[in-house]
Amino acid sequence: MICPHCGERGYVRTKFVKQKKGISGAKATGALLTGGLSIFATGLSRKEKNTKAHCKHCGSTWNF
């Protein structure tokens, strides 16, 4: 893999991560129906699977 910042090949390491992203409509509806009690158990944000990459040559980190 080539780093998009420094252009070096072979220094980029990747790993899978889950990131919070926006508000889930289903969780917001559940919060309204339960009087807000479900917010404490689940939160409102949804989680998405992303890939996090880090270049050991220039130190930059990015997600895709």
**pLDDT one-digit tens code per residue, 9-20:** 999 999 999 877
In the block, residue with structure tokens 């939160």: 43
- Tell me the one-letter amino acid at 59: G
CA 51 to chain centroid = 8
Confidence of residue 7 (pLDDT cuts 50, 70, 90): very high
Map out the domains of the chain as residue ranges: 12-59
| Residues in a beta bridge with 42 | none
Whether this prediction's pTM lies above 0.85 is answered by: no
Nearest Cα neighbor of 61 from 3, 8, 10 is 3
**pLDDT one-digit tens code per residue, 12-59:** 999 999 877 766 666 667 677 776 655 555 665 567 888 999 999 999
* The pLDDT value given to residue 18: 85
**Is 13 in contact with 63 (CB distance < 8 Å)?**
no
